[in-house]
């Protein structure tokens, strides 16, 4: 028997979280695997403030309790995000699993989190005492470790409304479907008036956290395509030093080789 509280509004959920020791529960696709009969869960699927995908002048705002299917069916969600979540598990899992759960698990293999890293998304974290909006890169402290406080909920993910159409995404798994990433890579490159105005890359399933090195990507920003070609090898060398894969069932050497090949293919596909 599963014990817990069913919240029907954000205020109700935050009030429960402030008073009780509970585990937030979205789709439960990970929690149900190792359900703790003694645990109390805070069920969030009926919190309307966390189920919307809307936009304002600056952001597409994705509720943390939105399922992967909600994102796929949305007319607002960027194509880059849709492509990534469409490759998560099977339809039954996509119908239940939530984007907030995918992020809050803190896994470097999380398919949606990779896209949010590559697009410099922000997270809106809310408690009964207030809220904070932070870059997703500041949320992860290590494998399965996040900066989420005990009385906080991840309520929304904020993605830029524009500049995400020219993207690159690859997921390398052991098979075509139902695969956990061995290596994943996402990137965006934007050129305006002949110069690169944005270059954002992210590598998943490689280290303890998703790798996002804005300082290295900045080497290409402000340059023409020809100027980017001139510093291309220095750019690769910087990433070769920055990418230090962890060892596991897949060798570190394999992971690094795949990362560098994907990075090269991304640049070449954009004429660099």
- Tell me the pLDDT band of 198, cut-offs 50, 70 and 90: very high
- Tell me the pLDDT band of 35, cut-offs 50, 70 and 90: low
For the chain, percent of residues with pLDDT exceeding 90 = 86
pTM of this prediction?
0.94
Average pLDDT over residues 5-23: 96
CA dihedral over 95, 96, 97, 98, signed as positive or negative? positive
**Domains of the chain by residue range:** 3-160, 167-269
Rounded mean pLDDT of the chain?
93
Average pLDDT over residues 152-165: 97
Which homologous superfamily does the CATH classification assign to the domain defined by 167-269?
A: CO dehydrogenase flavoprotein, C-terminal domain (3.30.390.50)
Higher pLDDT: 18 or 181? It is 18
Higher pLDDT: 133 or 40? It is 133
Dig out the tokens for 191 from the structure. Answer: 């050129």
Burial per residue of 238-269, b for 16 or more beta-carbon CB atoms within 10 angstroms, e otherwise:
bbeeebebeeeebeeeebbebbeebbeebbee
- In this structure, how many other beta carbons lie within 10 angstroms of the beta carbon of residue 177? 8
Average pLDDT over residues 236-242: 98
User: In whole angstroms, what separates CA 110 from the centre of its chain?
Assistant: 6
| pLDDT in the model for residue 182 | 82
State the Cα–Cα distance between residues 14 and 49, nearest whole angstrom: 12
Lowest mean pLDDT segment, chosen from 86-95, 191-200, 232-241: 86-95
**Rounded to whole angstroms, what are the CA distances from 160 to 23, 26, 30, 155?**
30, 24, 28, 17
Comparing 3-160 with 167-269, is the CATH topology the same? Answer: no
- In this structure, how many other beta carbons lie within 10 angstroms of the beta carbon of residue 25? 23
CA dihedral over 99, 105, 111, 116, signed as positive or negative? positive
- Tell me the pLDDT band of 177, cut-offs 50, 70 and 90: very low
| pLDDT in the model for residue 186 | 98
Q: What is the tens place of the pLDDT at every residue in 249-258?
A: 788 999 999 9
Which residues pair with residue 60 across a beta bridge? 55, 159
Asked if 22 and 44 count as a contact pair (C-beta separation under 8 A), the reply is: no
| pLDDT in the model for residue 30 | 78
Residues 6+ apart with CB under 8 A from 194: 224, 225
pLDDT of residue 267 exceeding 80, the answer is: yes
State the Cα–Cα distance between residues 216 and 213, nearest whole angstrom: 6
Asked if 139 and 121 count as a contact pair (C-beta separation under 8 A), the reply is: no
| pLDDT in the model for residue 33 | 66
Per-state percent for the chain, helix, strand, coil, to nearest 5? 35, 25, 40
| pLDDT in the model for residue 1 | 54
Q: How far apart are the first and last CA of the chain?
A: 57
CATH numeric code, 3-160: 3.30.465.10
């Amino acid at each position: 028997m599963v014990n817990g509280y069913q919240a029907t509004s954000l205020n109700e959920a935050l009030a429960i979280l402030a008073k009780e020791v509970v585990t937030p529960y979205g789709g439960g696709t990970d929690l149900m695997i190792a359900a703790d009969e003694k645990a109390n869960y805070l069920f969030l699927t009926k919190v309307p403030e966390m189920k919307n995908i809307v936009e304002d002048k600056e952001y597409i705002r994705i509720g943390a309790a939105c399922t992967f299917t909600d994102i796929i069916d949305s007319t607002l969600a960027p194509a880059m995000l849709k492509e990534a979540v469409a490759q998560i598990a099977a339809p039954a899992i996509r119908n239940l699993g939530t984007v907030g759960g995918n992020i809050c698990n803190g896994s470097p293999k999380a398919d949606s989190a990779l896209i949010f890293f590559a697009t410099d998304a922000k997270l809106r974290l809310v408690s009964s005492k207030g809220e904070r909006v932070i870059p997703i890169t500041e949320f992860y402290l290590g494998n399965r470790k996040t900066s989420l406080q005990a009385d906080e909920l991840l309520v929304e993910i904020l993605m830029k409304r524009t500049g995400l159409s020219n993207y690159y995404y690859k997921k390398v798994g052991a098979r075509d479907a139902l695969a956990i990433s061995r290596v994943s890579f996402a990137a965006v490159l934007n050129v305006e008036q002949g110069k690169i105005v944005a270059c954002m890359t992210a590598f998943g399933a490689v280290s303890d956290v998703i790798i996002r090195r804005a300082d290295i990507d900045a080497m290409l920003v402000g340059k023409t395509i020809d100027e980017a070609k001139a510093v291309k090898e220095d750019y690769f060398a910087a990433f070769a030093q920055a990418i230090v894969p962890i060892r596991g069932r897949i060798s570190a050497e394999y992971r690094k080789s795949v990362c560098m090949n994907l990075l090269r293919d991304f640049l070449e596909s954009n004429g660099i």
